[in-house]
Chain A
Amino acid sequence: MKNSIAERVYDFLKNFPPFNLLSKSKLLEIATEIDIIYLEKGKVLFNQNDANHKHFYIVRNGGISLSKKTEKDNVLIDICDAGDIFGLRPLISKENYLLDAIANEESIVYGIPIEVFQSVSEKNIKINKYLITSFASKSFDPYTTEQSSNVFTDYIVKDSLKYSNLHSVKYTKNPLSCTVNSSAKEAAIKMSTQKVGCIVVVNEAKIPKGIITNSDLKNKIATGVFSIDTCVSEIMSSPVITQPKNLTVLDAQLQMIKHKVSHLCITVDGTSNSKLIGILNNHDVLASLGNNPTVILKDIKRAKRTSELRKIRNKANILLKSYLEQNIPLSHISKIISEINNSVIIRVVEISLKKMPTPAPVKFSWIALGSQGREEQLLYTDQDNALIFEDTTAENYLETKNYFLKLAGYITKSLHKIGFEYCPAEMMANNPKWCLSLSEWKEQFNSWIINVDEKAILLSSIFFDFNHVYGDATLAKELTKSIFKTLNKRSLLFNFLGKEAIASPSPLGFFKQFLVENNGDHKDSFNIKQRALMPLINAARLLTLSNNIYEINNTAKRFEKLAEIEPQNKELYQSCSYAFKALLKFKTKQGILHNDSGKFIKLESLTKEEKLKLKRCFKPIREIQEVLSLRFNLSK
């Protein structure tokens, strides 16, 4: 019987080693026998110490994270992308799994039965060789890779710090260079057109003789000590420090400190008598370490492609994790993470604008909504965004709208690739409903405020917390002004928002027990978002709107501002602000632990102390709900 699905599987497998080494008929034989496995994000394929399955796996779509549990924590070993094979070693060495394999995002994985694979490939020397080298290269200890005859050494990271310092640094290949006879001016022009901060001076044999950096030009030329026609050999720093190409991060740092230099030249054999092949600066070393916010921000600004941004944004997650471990204040963490998120968005918009055939026909503002707009988004979440464009003439309207819809399409697609899932509710600027001219937006908000209904309330939590990210900020400001003008005329919305804010009962039950979910998948867990964070977010929004406070979106900051203008409730507002930050941190930590949004908390996993801490955060929730029902007359 014809099997089109197997042919489809074959078409994929044939592109990846070791399958590309098999003949078509043999590969088809394998393709017919595989399982196609769909994994939701966070779903476990196998756990450490599980008995091995009869299958090994190749990622078709998405990503699978492999991690190793240690006594102290969970060390991420690798994230497998499309085409990567995993889970093969235990089948060959006939052992239990040594790692956890968990879907890092929604994934499709092919399970290949080892028996079929072996019977088909048994006598293929090339395949065996491939498998052996692939095991060897996955053993992370660089010193055993080449020497060890035991190629099946486990690829276990013993110490994650050690690993990060011992891997080789990424240096800039083909660095800018000039001959020893060039003038300072020529060198500077080259640096300026290539937008780099240094140039290597080389002789005819391409052997590095010296280096000129921005600071040489500043100190020696701009001060007037040397003229711009001076030969480079007179102003260059010399000799240069040379190193071989497989330099580790740790060595690079040591060399720079030892020689008091900020650049290292990489040569073919590492000596100063061989050809120049690359250059390494401070920044590259820091970037290889990967957990420094300024480096991350710089890298974002330099990124030319979405795939680069994805890698950089992933580093930010590692950063976030270490910050939480170090107990750095949440207000500081969220500032940094939202700064990183914002720069990612800005860069994505810039890259997307380049893809458009023409520049934007009118001014526009790209706005973030919901938690992103409130700068309360720490982990990857869904995209919530919208676009405001300047009013245009009736005959140009359609063309303008189509332009921005196309642009928004590029932007949301890139953000998705980076890791911000599409919003399931399509609150995104590529939705014609949320890509509107300024007047249309004003009208839209007016109608939500004046004709309040359930839908408007549902949307208020997303749209009323908007934040300008890219483009012309005056458009967003004008919209805010118009919203408050309408709000001041009508206050029915406040009544609705108030009801919404007190709808979720205080998270502590009658006997001071936690109110937990009593049905569904999350039975007996505590929904921290709905029961604790949302009441505070809703209360803060309502109180700031009704107090005519604008341009503060962050919930904690809103409460702080409220404490300023209502001294009589100062204490309550301050404790709300504190409680909010504590709860958000709690949710983020849980999210990192379980690789999800952290929304549901299994109560039995908490220590006594953590439970008490949580309960303390709930007191202000009940009190603020009481304040709201009095102030907005929300008799139940």
Chain B
Amino acid sequence: MEFNWFQKKEKKVLPEYFLEYKNAFLNAEKLPINQTRFVVFDTETTGFSMKKDRVLSIGAVSLVDNIINVNNSFEVYIKQEIFKAETVPIHGILKYGEMDKINELEALKQFLKYIENAVLVGHHVGFDVQMINEILKRNKLPNLVNKSIDTGFLFKKSKHAVYKNDKKHYTLDDLCNELKISKSDRHTASGDAYITAIAFLKILSRLNNRTDLKFKDLLF
């Protein structure tokens, strides 16, 4: 075959489930905050390395207008070959535990179907988004396109001017203490997602008290 400089790289055909996910963004209109669907999610992982570590479970809840619908929550446990004994005490997920586990690709499909074009919310959400993007990459797919909001960043924003300079790094536990949120179920993906959702709502109301809250204020 003749070599052609201009031959395009063969255009990759995206699978059905990903096209469906992407299409949700095409005609999405801009909604005010109280009509926006937020998906608050958390991942439990084998560690903090984007490349080497793997997602063991994803938990998420969705909320619209300050209401969390329990029936529309999301929780999956994922079979992974990579396993680190040292993180088991944190997340409590055993390699051969009783939990019904699905494979990574199946989890990804379900997750994309669940989140649609919602705004993603998480505590230090950058990490969780990256972990999902790594799964996408392993499956030769493009990154997530959802907007995302970090509760850690929002919380700092809600602090009084006097304390603004503090370069403190707020953990989810710090937020629980300061916002008086019960810490039961901490360190399960679903539990952390729920706690983060409550924290998110509390911080939103704080910010709303002080200023006219616009959507752009919430993003990085």
Where the two chains meet, the residues of A that have a C-beta atom closer than 8 Å to any C-beta of B are 1-6, 8-9, 31-40, 106, 108, 111, 416, 422, 424-426, 455, 458-459, 519-521
Give chain A's interface secondary structure class.
Answer: mixed
Q: Does B28 contact A (CB under 8 A)?
A: no
Given contacts A2-B77, A38-B67, 18 further A-B contacts (CB under 8 A): A3-B70, A4-B194, A5-B68, A5-B194, A6-B73, A8-B185, A32-B71, A35-B70, A37-B67, A37-B68, A38-B198, A39-B66, A40-B208, A111-B67, A416-B180, A425-B161, A426-B160, A458-B161
Which residue of A has the minimal Cβ distance to B208?
A521
The interface residues of chain B lying within 8 Å CB-to-CB of A8 are 184-185, 191, 194
Which B residues touch A38, using CB under 8 A? Answer: 66-68, 198, 201-202, 205
With A and B bound together, what is the CA distance between A632 and B121 in angstroms?
50
When chains A and B are docked, how far (Å) is the Cα of A455 from the Cα of B165? 11
Residues on B facing A (Cβ under 8 Å):
59, 61, 66-71, 73-77, 99-100, 158-163, 180, 184-185, 188, 190-191, 194, 198, 201-202, 205-206, 208, 211-212
Task: Tell me whether A31 and B70 are in contact in the complex, defined as CB-CB below 8 angstroms, given that A1-B75, A4-B75, A426-B163 are known contacts.
Answer: yes
Q: Which residues of B contact A34 (CB under 8 A)?
A: 70-71
What residues of chain B lie closer than 8 Å to A35, measured between beta carbons?
A: 67-70
A-B contact pairs, 30 of them (CB 8 A): A2-B75, A2-B77, A3-B75, A4-B185, A4-B190, A5-B70, A5-B194, A6-B70, A8-B184, A8-B185, A32-B70, A32-B71, A33-B71, A34-B71, A35-B67, A36-B67, A38-B198, A38-B202, A39-B66, A40-B205, A106-B205, A108-B198, A422-B180, A424-B160, A424-B206, A455-B161, A458-B161, A458-B162, A459-B162, A519-B212
Interface centre among A2, A108, A455 (most CB of B within 10 A): A2
Q: Which 6 A-B pairs have the closest CB atoms?
A: A425-B160, A520-B212, A4-B190, A36-B68, A38-B201, A40-B205
Cross-chain contact B202 with A106 (CB below 8 angstroms): yes
- Determine the residue in chain A with the shortest Cβ distance to B212: A520
* CB-nearest residue of chain A to B99: A2
Contact A521 B212, beta carbon cutoff 8 Å:
yes
CB contacts (< 8 Å) of B191 on chain A: these are 4, 8
Q: Establish whether residues B66 and A5, one from each chain, have CB atoms under 8 Å apart when the complex forms.
A: no
Nearest Cβ in chain A — how far from B56, in angstroms?
14
- CA A521 – CA B214 in complex, angstroms? 11
Q: What are the residues of chain A within 8 A of B70 when measuring CB–CB?
A: 3, 5-6, 9, 31-36
Main secondary structure on B side of the interface with A = mixed
* A425 contacts B75, C-beta separation under 8 Å: no
Whole-angstrom CA separation of A245 from B158 in the bound complex? 53
Give A36 to B197 CA distance when docked, in angstroms: 11
Q: A36–B62 Cα gap in the complex (Å)?
A: 11
Select the residue from A5, A9, A34, A426 with max chain B CB neighbours within 10 A: A5
A156 CA / B163 CA spacing, docked (Å): 48
Tell me, in angstroms, the Cα distance from A33 to B73 when the chains sit together: 10
Complex Cα–Cα for A31 and B70 (A): 8
Looking at the assembled complex, report how far the CB atom of A126 sits from the nearest CB atom of chain B, in whole angstroms.
25
Q: Which residue of B lies closest to A4 (CB)?
A: B190
B187 smallest CB distance to A (angstroms): 11
B220 → A minimal CB distance (Å): 22
CA–CA, A106 and B179, complex, Å: 11
Alpha-carbon gap, A9 to B70, bound state (A): 9
For the complex, give the distance between the alpha carbons of A426 and B163 in Å.
9
Distance to closest chain B CB from A176 (angstroms): 41
- Which residues in B have their C-beta under 8 angstroms from that of A5? 61, 68, 70, 73, 75, 190, 194
Residue among B66, B70, B190, B191 with most chain A CB within 10 A? B70
Report whether B190 and A425 are in contact in the complex, using a CB–CB cutoff of 8 Å.
no
Report which of B73, B162, B198 forms a contact with A3, defined as CB distance below 8 A.
B73
A2-B100, A4-B191, A520-B211 given as contacts; is B66 within 8 A of A455 (CB)? no
CB < 8 Å: which of B162, B201, B205 contacts A425? B162
Q: Which residues of B contact A9 (CB under 8 A)?
A: 70
Q: Which residues of B contact A459 (CB under 8 A)?
A: 162
CA of A550 to CA of B75, assembled, Å: 62
Q: Report the bound CA distance from A124 to B73 in whole Å.
A: 29
Instruction: Report how far A3 CA is from B189 CA in the complex, Å.
Output: 11
Complex contacts, A39 vs chain B, CB 8 Å: 66
Alpha-carbon gap, A8 to B184, bound state (A): 9
Residue from A4, A33, A106, A455 within 8 A of B162 (CB atoms) = A455
Q: Which residues of B contact A455 (CB under 8 A)?
A: 161-162
Which B residue's beta carbon lies closest to that of A423?
B160
Instruction: State in angstroms the CA–CA spacing of A467 and B206 once bound together.
Output: 28
Least CB distance from A447 to B in Å reads: 14
Residues in A with CB closer than 8 Å to B161 are: 425, 455, 458
Residues of chain A contacted by B160 (CB below 8 angstroms): 424-426
Task: Kindly state the separation between the CA atoms of A40 and B204 in the bound complex, as whole angstroms.
Answer: 10
CA distance A216 to B66 in the complex (A): 63
| Chain A residues with CB under 8 A of B208 | 40, 521
Task: Determine if B194 and A425 form an interchain contact, defined as CB atoms under 8 angstroms apart.
Answer: no
Minimum Cβ distance to chain B for residue A419 (Å): 14
Shortest beta-carbon distance, A82 to chain B, in Å?
11
Q: How far apart sit A424 and B178, CA to CA, in the bound complex (Å)?
A: 9
| Closest residue of B by beta carbon distance from A111 | B67
Chain A residues, Cβ within 8 Å of B212? 519-521
What's the nearest-Cβ distance from chain B to residue A628, in Å?
A: 24
**Cβ–Cβ < 8 Å partners of B67 in chain A:** 35-38, 111
Q: Smallest distance from the beta carbon of B38 to chain A beta carbons, Å?
A: 12
Complex: A34 Cα to B194 Cα, angstroms: 14
Q: Point out the residues of chain A lying under 8 angstroms from B211, CB to CB.
A: 520
A594 to chain B, nearest CB (A): 14
Q: A335 CA to B48 CA in the complex, in Å?
A: 58
With most chain B CB atoms within 10 A of its CB, the pick from A4, A8, A32, A108 is: A4
CB distance from B195 to the nearest CB of A (A): 10
Which residues of chain A have C-beta atoms less than 8 A from B190's C-beta? Answer: 3-5
Q: Whole-angstrom distance between the alpha carbons of A143 and B57 in the complex?
A: 58
Which single residue of chain B is at the shortest CB-CB distance from A110? B70
Residue from the list B66, B76, B163, B206 in contact with A1, Cβ < 8 A: B76
B87 to chain A, nearest CB (A): 19
Distance between A430 CB and nearest chain B CB, rounded to angstroms: 11
A458–B163 CA distance with the chains assembled, in angstroms: 12
**How many angstroms from the CA of A111 to the CA of B205 in the assembled complex?**
20
Measured between beta carbons, the chain B residues less than 8 angstroms from A36 are 67-70
Q: Which residue of B lies closest to A37 (CB)?
A: B67
Give B178's nearest chain A residue, CB to CB: A422
CB distance from A45 to the nearest CB of B (A): 11
Q: Nearest B residue to A43 by beta-carbon distance?
A: B66
Residues of B within 8 A of A1 (CB): 74-76
Complex alpha-carbon distance, A5 and B202, angstroms = 18
With a cutoff of 8 Å between Cβ atoms, the chain A residues found around residue B69 in the complex are 35-36
Q: How far is the CA of A36 from the CA of B208 in the complex (A)?
A: 20
Residues from chain B with a CB closer than 8 A to the CB of A4 are 59, 75, 185, 188, 190-191, 194
Distance between B36 CB and nearest chain A CB, rounded to angstroms:
15
Please give, as numbers and ranges, the residues of chain A lying within 8 Å of B66 by CB-CB distance. Answer: 37-39
